Chain A
Amino acid sequence: MTEMKTPAPRLRGWTVYASYVAAFSMAVCFAGIAVQFFRGVFQSWNSSGLLIICTVVAVEAVASLWMVKNLQTVQKHMFFYRLMEWLFILLVVKVFTEIRGGPAALWENILLWRKDFLGSFVSLDYAVNLMIVAAAWLVSYFFSNDLYLLGVEEAVYLDERIKTAPVRDLILKRYLGLGMLAVLMMGTAPRLMSNGQTVITPVDFAPVIIYFVLGLALVSLSRYADLETTWHQARLQVPTQISRRWVLYSAIIISILALLAAWLPTNYANGFFEVILAILNFLVLIVLFINYIVLFIINGIYNLVMPLFSPGTQLPEPTGTPRPTPSPPSLADTNVGGNAALIKTLIYWAIFAILVIIAFRQYLSFNRSLAEELKKFRPLRWLAEFWKQLKASLSKANKSVGEFVQTSWQRLRNLGPGSTAQSEWDYINLRRLSTREKIFFYYQALLKKADEVGFPRQRTQTPYEYARSISSNLEEGKENVQELTESFIEARYSRHEIPNQEANRVREAWQAIRRVIRNIRKSRQEAAEKKK
């Protein structure tokens, strides 16, 4: 019987056992959710004690899987083994269903089998119980099977299905798929249970919360098992501290999250759509209020201006009952269950929406393939296009308003008494220049005036070369040109302080040169006139 030819997969210590415990606990939780659902569907159904049977069956599923995988003889007669196993489960569930009414009830039911076996054996209670037990068994079995495969080191023991899809992904898919089913069942169960009255206690939805918490633990543990298998395949030494820290960190994270989920508000005064309606009402109210203000101003101006055009005519006094003056709409008119509750609900939904958007964006940033798929989805593409256009128009409007405001502000500044805008007739105030700048100015003046009389400076000429070239033409101002050039070079290329006296000397030199240039110009004009 205990012939073991197939090598057993290596277990990774207690993390693997913890995974199995999490898996069958999830199966029990799922059964609990199913119980909640069916209690709503079948009011007369008795569900007492069913979870104990589900727990036993879930444990049996794990144990039988281990036995089947490890014992060669069982594998040979798998069909008969499973048949016997299920016959046994059917009987146990039947006994459990009937014995809750006492041994006499069970005996009575057994007596009825002879007359109408099917009708008396398969009662409503029994069928529902069996369905839930089967669900627990299947959940436990599939999770255990996945976990078993996760512990296998050598690829030869993996079947084709496992080779193409990592085992951990299977576990995750199963967890999320069952989670969806659980949410659907739990979402619809309370309404059915209380005939439309949504009175739910935290105990009622405890199984679904526990299911998801345990699922996260299972996902974390399976992640570790998956990584550890990979590391072992790569012949790596895995330090023991990794497993310890892994469990510690996972426990901390999941505990914090469970506490947060329990602590954060889950009830709100107004539903999501009610809040949207309230926001829309509020926006309409603002528009009406603005409209009222504008009309009030126009009315006031009209009343002031009209008498000016017809001074002699007196408007007839209105008779009868006076018309009631329209009053601006009040915020209290749109109160939905009190302002404080509305604001609280609004904040709640805003935080919730922000969280969902952040999580979704981050999720997309991690999963580029999904982002690409979503981009191809036509309605989303239209939305994106609309948003793009809206953004562009807003940006354009913002830009033009900004420009308008800026130009208007500039105009106002220019109109003001302290306008500092420079006119195009601006000139250099020599008194405001530094000594160094004054010398630059005189040298530039020399270049300009000499150019006007036909002695331009070539681009390749240094100041000294230029000085030599014009000295021959400005014979009278030769020394002054030399002095001005030297002062310019000192001012241009030195770092020391230039005394004020230097600027005065340069000015005198420049004035002397200017006189010489004027004389040249005058003599040339006279010569030209003579020629004429």
Chain B
Amino acid sequence: MLLETVILVILLVITAALLKGGFAFSVLYLFLGVYIIGMVWTRQTAKSITCDRKLESHVFLGEEIHIRLEIKNSGWLPVPWLFFYESLPSDLAAGSAIQRVLSLKPHSSVEVPYTLNAYKRGYYAIGPFNAKFGDTIGLTGTQEIHKQLDYITVYPRIVALDELKMPSRSPLGTLRYHQPIFEDPSRVRGKRDYVTTDSLRMVDWKATAAAGRLQVKQFEPSIALQTAIFLDLNINEYHGQRLDAAELSIVIAASVANWVVKQKQSVGLITNGRDPSSAIWPIKPLPPRKGGGHLIHILDLLARIQKTDTLSLAELLNKETPNLPWGTTVIIVTGHADETLFDELFEIKRRGQSVMLLLSGYGTNIRSLKLQAERFGIPFYAFQNEKSLEAWGRR
């Protein structure tokens, strides 16, 4: 086809040059005109077509994701045809792609709305968007434009937990506590008569003057719950599980983090998983912080995170727990527990940090693990599915 066109043009030029025949010029004008118009048209159109994708970048599980593709022709030339293809993640869409064919007038735009469903936690790429267009004669080929990927983060499911009993050794917090050793001098509960063993610093002089005898203040014990969730995503710890226990572990971690933040306490997340959006591995730990913003950071990470097989949980604990303050509650979420892990947990306890072990899936003998945890004085809970987590939260 290429050759024919070139030969024809050469033939026309020779005919026009040798003979003073007007028809050859007329045909040449036609052909040159077609090529020039075709090229100018497609190139100008390529410059003036833009695609904008409007979407919510973060959604919760089960929500609908409304995406609007706006294809705009800002040029003065019309676009007679445009075929576009938008790739979609199969976990969010029933079909695998959105493809349409349309035509655009000068200075006009077309909006293509479509909806995805957040069926599964994850970090999903929307696109790429590829569009192909050209002129109506088609001798100059087609042009293509592309739009880069956009990303959607689907947060993991959060199970509402009402009341959790978490061990803590951090004094002077905002949570009431039963042991009087953590008395908070800023929380005066009442007054009583002085006894000889009382410290003089506890004497309430105003009340003493009013009562005419020595009165001492009584303080309410309180603790601060500084929590660090250790999420185990080592693929070997979930081997041979009937369901995807790693996903359950992520749900447990998200639910516990949510509960802690609701209690206005600080929570951190440390994991041996892999973040697909980042080249850095291992993932930088999120240190214990308070507030909704920090919870969103944790949920973002939990949405993206994936399993790996490099660092074991025991190694992670050994590496990270010494950096945590005294009294921090270390919550371990894993799919498997063994002697090595219990040894590590015992070390953590001896270091003055509280430990809680949450096991997901059906992987190991839960009864023996429970007994072992009791021996070490470690609160232990096992969850087979999300329902058991819900039940635990309702207790």
Q: Which A positions have Cβ atoms within 8 angstroms of B?
A: 168-169, 172-173, 176-177, 179-180, 183-184, 186-187, 190-191, 198, 200, 202, 205, 208-209, 212-213, 216, 219-220, 223-224, 227, 231, 234, 236-239, 241-242, 245-246, 249-250, 253, 256-258, 260-262, 264-268, 271-273, 352, 355-356, 358-360, 362-363, 366-367, 369-370
Contacts and interface: CB of A to CB of B under 8 A. Distances in A.
Nearest to A238: B101
Interface of B: 1-9, 11-13, 15-37, 39, 78, 80-81, 83, 99-103, 135-141
A183 B26 CA distance: 11
B233 to A, nearest CB: 40
Contacts of A191: 19
A183 B8 contact: yes
Nearest to B5: A176
Given A220-B136, A220-B137, A246-B80, A257 B30 contact: yes
Contacts of B21: 186-187, 190, 198, 200, 205
Interface residues of B, dominant DSSP: helix
Contacts of A258: 30
B4 A236 contact: no
A209 B27 contact: yes
11 contacts: A173-B1, A179-B8, A212-B27, A220-B137, A237-B100, A238-B101, A239-B101, A257-B34, A261-B25, A266-B22, A367-B2
Contacts of A257: 29-30, 33-34, 37
B13 A242 contact: no
A187 B103 contact: no
B30 A213 contact: yes
Given A168-B138, A198-B20, A260-B33, 14 more contacts: A180-B8, A187-B21, A200-B22, A212-B30, A242-B101, A249-B80, A260-B29, A261-B30, A264-B25, A264-B29, A355-B36, A359-B9, A366-B141, A370-B6
A180 B7 contact: yes
Contacts of B83: 227, 231, 236
Contacts of B9: 356, 359-360
Contacts, number: 172
Given A246-B80, A362-B39, A261 B8 contact: no
Nearest to B141: A366
A209 B27 CA distance: 6
Contacts of B23: 186, 200, 205, 208-209, 266
B308 to A, nearest CB: 39
A245 B135 CA distance: 11
Contacts of B102: 239, 242
A239 B11 CA distance: 41
A183 B101 CA distance: 38
A529 to B, nearest CB: 72
B35 A362 contact: yes
Contacts of B3: 370
A316 B358 CA distance: 130
Contact of A184 (B2, B11, B20): B11
A197 to B, nearest CB: 12
Given A367-B2, A370-B2, A267 B11 contact: no
Contacts of B99: 234, 236
Contacts of B34: 216, 253, 257
List the 5 closest A-B pairs by CB distance, nearest first.
Answer: A266-B22, A205-B23, A176-B4, A223-B138, A272-B17
Contact of B26 (A246, A249, A261, A355): A261
A264 B336 CA distance: 85
A367 to B, nearest CB: 5
A262 B30 CA distance: 10
Contacts of A253: 34, 37, 135-137
Nearest to A213: B30
Contacts of B135: 253
A168 B21 CA distance: 31
Contacts of B25: 261, 264-266, 352
B22 A187 contact: no
B30 A187 contact: no
Given A234-B99, A242-B101, A180 B35 contact: no
Contacts of A261: 25-27, 29-30, 33
A356 B26 CA distance: 13
